[in-house]
Structure 1
Amino acid sequence: MKIRRIGAAGAALTVLAALGGCALNGAGTESDTGADASGDVTGEVTLQTWALKPNFTEYVEGVIADFEEEYPGTEVTWLDQPGDGYSEKVLSQAAAGELPDVTNLPPDFALSLAREGLLTDVTTVDDTVEDTYVPGALEAYQYGGIDGTFGFPWYLTTDLNYWNTEMFEKAGLDPATPPTSLDELVAQARTMKDETGEYLMSRKPGLGDFAAEGLPVLSDDGTELVFNTPEAAELLDVYRDAYADGLMPDDVLTDAYLGNSQLFTEGKVAWSTGGGNFINSVLENNPSLDGKITSSPYMGTTPLYVQGLSVSNQSKNLPTAVALARFVTNAANQEAFSTEVPGVFPSTTASQENPELAESDDTPQGDAKAIAFSNLTTAQVLQPVEVNEAMTTIINQQFAAAIAGDKTSQEALDAAVEECNKLLADQ
């Protein structure tokens, strides 16, 4: 399983924005997203998940059965939607006033519903959330210009670095001391290219690279992208110079580019980033790399990928809906889910003390899992969820132009910010 990301379709958002009632009237406007969840936990509620059938049917049905046993008189109807078209399905449900009581939403899609006042601010119905979930996961459901937190964090993944030890050793580099910064990465990439003709670096940067270095990307109120700083231009210059010096494959800027992880899997580059279970997926496709992969923490702030459960602000049984969302995302149930899905981790702070998650079994896979898990408490969602696919296309095009030397890095950043802010204003 992978953490999935979705973007809302423009036409569906138009339908959603036509909803009346408690909808927001623009960024920064408060909505009545709090409610009284103090009643009895009883009666019927609906739980909607995203593409968990059939692989995790037994697990989900078991959690539901446990919930109904703990709260006699409750009845949970489980809906599971297929992966394709999930965003449109949820938006259609919302527009029809049929949003399930509890819905599995990633942060970027929850934003669309939170803007319309359709999700419950979980801090108003549960005063323990800040102690229950790791900070970055909670922050993923907090949006500039909207007061509140609009999801109970569920399962997480994060990224770390992976290195091809054989390629390091051929270049006279020590895989036990891989790069820990961009400058070190470029220096070792130069050594590898000079000594063996092979590549260490094989991707251009994105907004996440700026955020990982602590550079501003989005304004605090969520209304403007602000990544066209001199510091960001300097970072982009580093990649431009590396590309000009032949330290990255020529097609890294073209449509023929296979992708960083694919080139790593094929043994053509010595560095990739990936989740805690990345080694297993690599070895499934290229067993010859067995014993030749090591890992290290992500450079800069560790990225976080989040799934959560949001509660409809229109639920007719809010006490039971909140209780269900909390039950599904409690430490015991999340830890059980993490054993079902290697590389997926609990969002609960209590799980940080679980030795089965925190300790390595001294295999490369176990080392990677332990590194990934140890960084969950400080990991953050690096790319703002306000950045949609159209903006990403613009950003990629401008960054490619800068790295190719077709325009200066500052010109590319200024152009990207200007065009993306026009799209952001229309959201």
Structure 2
Amino acid sequence: MNKNFWIVIISTFIILTGIFFVFNKKQENNEVVFWTLQMADFAPYINGVISDFETENPEIKIKWVDVPFSEGEKRTLASVLSDNPPDLVNLNPDFSATLAHKGALYEIPSEKVSQYNNEIMESLKTDGKYYSVPWYATSAITIYNKDLISKSGISVPKTYSQVAQTAQVVKSKTGAYIMLPNITENDTILKILNKYGTSTFDKINSEKAVEVLDMFKYLYSKDLIPKETVTMTLQESLEKYMSGNIALINAGANFLNMIKENAPSTYAKTDVSHQIVGELGQNDFSLMNFVIPLRAKHKDEALKFALFLTNDKNQLELAKMTNVLAVNDKTLKNDFYTKYDNNDLMAKARVISAKQLNKITPTYRTQKNQKDINNIMNGAVQEILLDKDSTQNILNNANKSWKNLID
């Protein structure tokens, strides 16, 4: 063999080795790091979706990391500002919006989000742009005691005004309260005010806000809602419902399981209806979504996986395992979300909840210093219920305190 032959052989070997190395390096570097919040219980489902995705996209690998819920925001904030953040992160919309305002998130092209419910996508806009894609939602319903409502001779209230109008007849005919509104817990009162368009600092002392709070003040002063309203939580309200002391609660469909397990006799009298609304007619909802950090190394691959994870097939599979609502528009039109057997209360609740997603705007958006804002408003509500001053004066003071937080 001559010298030129060996040169060709060696050169070919070097070229092939180089190609193999580059290909392997690309494969190794094409790994999408995917964070979820406390989803370990659904590992078989998530691993199955990952496997299906990798089969369809062999050039992309997914590395799943499940983060404890309590550590989610802290770890995410640290990671997105680093040079090596995860590529796809599961967050709530409020923290997502905060990161978007900081310029820390990748903008999602509008043409990529057509598979989702329009109202949900509208709620996710930040300065008119998308910085997240939704994963799943929940929307509270009215859970009510059929016997108490029937004995009262009323229809199930659809609005807070109707709650106020029927409270007296429920109390006089049954001895029970119409409801225990947990209006001093977290941001409950702000979400109620949002249903009247008065949940921002410049409107919380408006004539309409005074009217809404005076309604609760009247009910409290006439013993038409429990005295515990001044401090009680939704969980405590549930206990009152299970013992037959209140006629209805606004809560998630998952509360039906608690009632069934802990108070089967009450569950036998329980039915569900549409969430109680205000003048604007929109429904409260909660949402979990995905974001892609601006510094992520695999933005296109991460978005591709997020869209796959939330396609109609995978959304339906997740929905059937849980009490959450799909966000994929095609999934929401499936019989699972549009039909129910009259004997299946959970199915009825699911159908009602899903339908409510078609009317959720304007949504209540949390803000910087939200916990402090909650404390200001909850303190104001307690003062109003206890008649410490006029509702107008108390809300004027709350307005000043809130404004000081944002100045």
- TM-score class, shorter-chain normalisation, is 0.7 to 0.9
2:62 to 76, 81, 84: 76
- 1:358 equivalent in alignment to 2:338: yes
The equivalent residue for 2:88 is 102
Aligned mates of 2:362, 2:70 — CA distance in 1: 23
Counterpart of 1:354 in structure 2: which amino acid? N
Counterpart of 1:86 in structure 2 is 72
Distance 1:415 1:402 in 2: 12
Q: Secondary structure at the match of 2:61?
A: strand
1:67 aligns with 2:26: no
The CA RMSD over aligned residues, in Å, is 2.2
Deviations 1:89-148 (A, max 9, x none): 2122234333310000101111221122111121x3x5141x3212332233323xx452
Structure 2 unmatched ranges of 5 or more: 1-26, 184-188
The reply to whether residue 156 of structure 1 matches residue 125 of structure 2 is no
Match of 2:386 among 404, 411, 418: 404
Which protein shows a greater Rg? Answer: 2
Does 1:262 find its partner at 2:239?
yes
Runs of 4+ in 1 over 4 A off after TM superposition: 255-258
1:349 aligns with 2:329: yes
| Residue 162 (structure 2) aligns with | 184
Letter in 1 for 2:382: A
* 8 Å CA contact 2:182, 2:234 repeated in 1: no
The count of residues paired between Structure 1 and Structure 2 equals 369
Alignment of 1:131-146 (within 5 A): 131-143=114-126, 146=127
> Any gaps of 5 or more consecutive residues in structure 1?
1-39, 219-223
Alignment partner of 1:127: what SS?
helix
Query: Given the superposition, is the C-alpha separation of residues 47 and 225 from structure 1 closer, same or farther in structure 2, using an over 3 Å criterion?
Result: farther
Give SS of 1:118's match.
Answer: coil
Distance in 1 (CA, whole Å) between partners of 2:299 and 2:372 is 36
Superposed, 1:25-424 pairs within 5 Å as: 43-53=30-40, 55-122=41-108, 124=109, 126-129=110-113, 131-143=114-126, 146-169=127-150, 171-174=151-154, 177-203=155-181, 205=183, 206-213=189-196, 215-218=197-200, 225-254=202-231, 259-300=236-277, 301-341=282-322, 343-362=323-342, 363-380=344-361, 382-386=363-367, 388-424=370-406
Instruction: Give the Cα–Cα distance (whole angstroms) in 1 for the partners of residues 378 and 83 of structure 2.
Output: 37
The alpha-carbon deviation at position 255 of structure 1 amounts to: 6.2
Counterpart contact for 1:265–1:282, Cα < 8 Å: yes
> Displacement of 1:404 after TM fit?
1.9
More moved, 62-71 vs 186-195:
186-195
State the SS of the aligned residue for 1:398.
helix
Q: What's the CA shift for 1:315?
A: 1.4
TM-score, structure 2 length as denominator?
0.85
In structure 2, the partner of 1:37 is none
Higher share of residues assigned helix: 2
- CA deviation vs aligned residue, 1:203-245 (integer Å, no higher than 9, x gap): 15401112223x1423xxxxx5533211111111111111100
1:221 corresponds to: none
Aligned to 2:23: none
User: For residue 47 of structure 1, what is the amino acid of its counterpart?
Assistant: F
